[in-house]
């Protein structure tokens, strides 16, 4: 009864609000239009290359080697295996280095020391350096000074430098997302800082690290510019046999074919682009899947 | 249930409590604090604190928010070392050894003096691995399965989890997680357990389980607990220290110890007006 009389006594609430519906709607349309530009571009791109490359989207694409004289029978096998070789070695070089560097910066370096701030600014800047510059560096240091020539190793080392800043930055973010109280709990049990970092913080951050690592590797897979500078333009009709072997990669092969004016090569290039896009999309989806699966653990 | 006054609630908590036979004198000393001061950079969080902590007793730290209870507790096992700029002056002796002495390894200190935090901070691992973690990093030899069972039993959790030891600790309820943290803590065989508001994030039933557990553990361990809950202090503790934050001559706020004694005495016959005001709810 008292509740009822209370309701009667209260003036009706005014929930109408005083927004500007027109402006509001215009803004939402703008946002939607911006989104559409991105999605439509990707869709058109995929549709275009798929239709154009369709005649060659069959198993000869990965069973056959590139050929200059017989475009109708040429394939991209050496580019596929070359990409796998290069990216595997890139991962071998860049992952441990990047993760350990991030672990040091995040868990062991004195926070906000001048050294740490200096390193931080440098890493941010490195992440913004154009990839072609890494090509110049790789050419001078790995190909010439270290005499590694035009090999899988040279390409992998160069691409490692390219993605190292990205791996460090994303790993640091993943480490920072691990709650402080996990570290405190470990240290309070008499664990050393190294035990805490290697047995608690790092394992807890692995999903986040994996996401960053896959995205950075997919960036390396798609890079052509630095490799072109390293001299990877020649026609390679064999699969790499070791780290010092010559190589070609998918972006390089696509570049070579699109330079050729013959229609068959244009079709072949489109088919190979589809292959490359599928590889990159799969990598990105795996990264997103890992991220979503492990979201909100704390 | 009829509304009880705070005084009545407290006095019934006291009669239930365990502080009946506690005398003023402490014969078996674990910690001696003499003029202990704790700083965060230039800011002095705690003014000289002097007190002794008795073996196999439960000592409660109470006082308003910001008076430095957590700060003081973290200085017992050198967890303050991990906060940049934190510094301790004065004496904090553990069985006569200065915890901040030059030859003392903080890792060794933390192994002997365990800690339970306000929010249950289980590791993102299985229940089993949570308990086994401490012994593993400390290279404690022996049968791990037995040790895990023993610790979970002591923490009154074994019956609830014995079939799910491989399950993630995150699957447990908040109260179970906090008992897991206690099991994890006793697995390294400490002598002292520090607890910083261990029930602050738990419901009343989980809280009473933890309180019951604390009383059992006090047979074997020395416990220091920070709590905001007066009844809890009255129910579980043998001795109570009341802290407050006060302005000094320069107008800076510092935490300081006001009164320390057997819990029964602090709650039923406080010597200081500020203690009396606080426990009767007129302050803080
Ligand atoms: N890491 C820190 N850096 C600087 N000052 C701190 C830090 N931690 C605590 N303080 C300060 O020290 C004083 C005591 O804090 P403390 O957390 O020990 O209080 P408390 O009694 O535990 O409070 P509560 O009951 O709210 O947990 C406060 O003034 C607080 O602002
Ligand atoms: Mg506190």
For A179, name the nearest residue in chain B, comparing CA atoms only. Answer: B121
Q: Chain B within 8 Å of A200 (Cβ-Cβ)?
A: yes
Closest ligand 1 atom, CA of B197? 27
* Residue A214: per-residue pLDDT: 92
Low-confidence ranges of chain A (pLDDT < 50): 1-3, 5
- How far apart (Å, rounded) are the C-alpha atoms in residues B211 and B229? 12
Q: Which ligand is nearest to the CA of B243?
A: 1
Domains located in chain A, CATH noted: 61-294 (1.10.3720.10)
Q: What is the pLDDT of residue B284?
A: 42
Q: Is B284 in the pocket of ligand 1 (CB under 6 A)?
A: no
Q: Which residue of B has its CA nearest to A202?
A: B124
* Ligand 1 in reach of B39 Cβ (< 6 A): no
Report strand pairing: B253-262 vs B239-247.
antiparallel
Query: Which residues of chain B are within 8 Å of residue A185 when distances are taken between CB atoms?
Result: 117, 121-123, 181, 184
User: What's the B86 CA to ligand 2 centre distance in angstroms?
Assistant: 15
* Residue B172 per-residue DSSP state: S
Edge-to-edge strand list for the sheet holding B253-262 = B97-98, B86-94, B29-40, B43-54, B253-262, B239-247, B58-62, B222-226, B192-196, B113-116
Record: contact B107-A192, CB cut-off 8 A: yes
pLDDT digits (tens, 9 = 90+) for A156-172: 999 999 999 999 999 99
**For ligand 1, is residue B73 a contact (CB within 6 Å)?**
no
ipTM of the complex: 0.89
Rounded to the nearest angstrom, the distance between the alpha carbon of B38 and the centre of ligand 1 is 11
Q: Which two tokens stand for residue B222?
A: 């020395």
Residues whose CB is less than 8 angstroms from the CB of residue B252 and which lie 6 or more positions away in sequence, other chains included: B43, B44
The predicted structure's pLDDT at residue A1: 44
Q: Mark yes or no for CB contact B123/A191 under 8 Å.
A: no
pLDDT in the model for residue A235:
75
Q: How far is ligand 2, taken at its centre, from the CA of residue B194, in Å?
A: 12
pTM metric for this prediction: 0.83
A182 and B121: CB-CB below 8 Å?
yes
List, for chain B, all residue ranges whose pLDDT scores fall below the cut of 50: 1-2, 283-284
Closest residue to atom 2 of ligand 1, CA basis: B40
Which of the following CATH numbers is that of domain B6-123+185-279: 3.40.50.300, 3.90.1150.10, 3.30.1490.390, 3.40.50.12280?
A: 3.40.50.300
Residue A145: Cβ-neighbour burial (10 angstroms; 0-12, 13-18, 19+): exposed
Q: What percent of chain A has pLDDT over 70?
A: 93
Contact A269, A74 (CB under 8 A): no
Atom of ligand 1 nearest to the CA of B118: 27
How many helices (H) and strands (E) are present in chain A, helices listed first?
13, 0
Polymer length of chain B: 284
Nearest-CA residue of chain B relative to A186? B134
* Facing residue for B115 by CB, picked from A188, A200, A204: A188
For chains A and B, count residue pairs whose Cβ atoms are closer than 8 Å. Answer: 67
Q: Does the CB atom of residue B147 touch ligand 1 within 6 A?
A: no
């Amino acid at each position: 009864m008292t509740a009822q009389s209370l309701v009667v006594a209260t003036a009706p609430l005014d929930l109408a609000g005083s927004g500007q519906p027109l402006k509001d709607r215009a803004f939402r349309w703008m946002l939607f239009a911006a989104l559409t530009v991105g999605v439509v571009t990707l869709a058109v791109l995929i549709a275009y290359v798929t239709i154009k490359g369709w005649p060659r989207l069959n198993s000869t694409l990965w069973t056959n080697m590139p050929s200059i004289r017989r475009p109708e029978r040429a394939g991209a096998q050496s580019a596929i295996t070359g990409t796998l070789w290069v990216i595997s070695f890139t991962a071998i070089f860049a992952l441990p280095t990047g993760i350990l560097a991030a672990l040091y910066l995040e868990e062991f370096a004195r926070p906000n020391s001048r050294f740490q701030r200096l390193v931080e600014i440098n890493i941010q800047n490195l992440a913004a350096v154009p990839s072609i510059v890494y090509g110049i560096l790789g050419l001078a240091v790995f190909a010439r000074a270290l005499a590694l020539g035009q090999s899988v190793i040279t390409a992998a080392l160069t691409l490692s430098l390219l993605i190292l800043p990205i791996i460090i930055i994303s790993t640091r973010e993943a480490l920072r997302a691990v709650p402080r109280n996990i570290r405190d709990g470990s240290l309070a049990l008499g664990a050393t800082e190294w035990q805490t970092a290697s047995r608690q913080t790092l394992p807890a951050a692995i999903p986040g690290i994996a996401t960053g690592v896959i995205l950075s590797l997919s960036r390396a897979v798609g890079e052509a510019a630095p490799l072109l500078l390293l001299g990877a333009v020649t026609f390679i009709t064999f699969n790499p046999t070791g780290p010092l072997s010559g190589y070609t990669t998918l972006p390089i092969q696509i570049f070579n074919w699109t330079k050729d004016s013959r229609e068959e090569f244009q079709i072949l290039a489109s088919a190979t682009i589809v292959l490359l896009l599928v590889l990159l999309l799969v990598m990105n989806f795996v990264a997103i899947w890992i991220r979503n699966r492990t979201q909100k653990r704390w | 249930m009829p509304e009880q006054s705070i005084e009545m609630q407290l006095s019934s908590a006291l009669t239930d409590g365990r502080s009946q036979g506690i005398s003023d004198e402490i014969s078996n000393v674990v910690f001696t604090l003499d003029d202990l001061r704790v700083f965060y950079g230039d800011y002095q969080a705690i003014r000289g604190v002097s007190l002794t902590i008795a073996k196999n007793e439960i000592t409660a730290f109470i006082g308003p928010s910001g008076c430095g209870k957590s700060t003081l507790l973290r200085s017992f096992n050198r967890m303050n070392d991990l906060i940049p700029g934190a510094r301790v002056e004065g004496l904090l002796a553990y069985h006569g050894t200065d915890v901040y002495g030059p030859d003392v390894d903080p890792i060794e200190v933390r192994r002997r003096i365990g800690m339970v935090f306000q929010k249950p901070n289980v590791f993102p691992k299985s229940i089993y691995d949570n308990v086994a973690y401490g012994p593993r990093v400390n290279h404690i030899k022996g049968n791990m399965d037995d040790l895990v069972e023993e610790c979970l039993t002591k923490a009154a959790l074994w019956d609830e989890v014995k079939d799910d030891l491989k399950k993630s600790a995150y699957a447990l309820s908040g109260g179970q997680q906090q008992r897991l943290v206690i099991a994890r803590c006793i697995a390294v065989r400490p002598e002292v357990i520090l607890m910083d508001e261990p029930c602050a994030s738990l419901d009343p039933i989980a809280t009473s389980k933890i309180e019951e557990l604390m009383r059992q553990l006090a047979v074997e361990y020395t416990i220091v607990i920070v709590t905001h809950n007066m009844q809890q202090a009255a129910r579980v503790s043998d001795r109570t220290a009341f802290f407050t934050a006060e302005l000094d001559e320069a107008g800076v706020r510092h935490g300081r110890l006001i009164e320390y004694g057997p819990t029964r005495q602090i709650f039923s016959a406080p010597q200081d007006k500020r203690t009396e005001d606080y426990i009767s709810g007129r302050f803080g």
